[in-house]
Amino acid sequence: MSTFREIIESTPYKEQSHVLELVINQYGDSYVLENVAKLIGSYTFSIWTKANKNCSVQFDVLGTIKIAEVTTDWKKYVYTVKTDDLSNGKSIAIKPDNNTTTYYYEGFLSEGTIDNSWLPAPEDDEAQMESIKSEFIQKADSIEEKVTANDGKISSLI
């Protein structure tokens, strides 16, 4: 019997959060997000995915089939499709290989051709912020600022 449930799991951002777990044990089973499109046009679907073992996952995005080769590490998949006729599908179906456990995080559908899903800002990375050293050197006629990152790159403002 195939199942789906929400679990707490480490995310691609290395934080614990709610993740969708699909266990597919019967041929033809899928997870469907119904009636997600209302207008004809271009849509971009993105989702983070990983599995308990390497497998294929078929994404049916508004009637367009996309195949992802999923591994045990989180990877973001982004698909842009154009639909001229919503009778082919207004839904997104996720169909992993049989006898696999797959995990999904931050599924996002937006109108247009740009992935508008959320990404952390580089300045939000605390480890990166802790590794920056800032110096101010006051001279008789000026102030010099020097910022050094942990990778050795130096930025100066005089």
Residue 15 to residues 45, 108, 128, Cα–Cα distance (Å): 23, 19, 16
78-137 pLDDT, tens digit each? 999 999 888 867 899 999 999 999 999 999 999 999 998 887 777 666 555 555 565 666
Helix, strand, coil distribution of the chain in percent, nearest 5? 5, 55, 40
- At 30-45, the pLDDT tens digits run 999 999 998 999 999 9
Half-sphere exposure of 158 (CA within 13 A, CB side): 4
Least Cα distance to 105 among 1, 22, 2, 3 occurs for: 22
pLDDT confidence of residue 27: 87
The residue ranking higher by pLDDT, 137 or 12, is 12
Residue with the two structure tokens 């271009």: 42
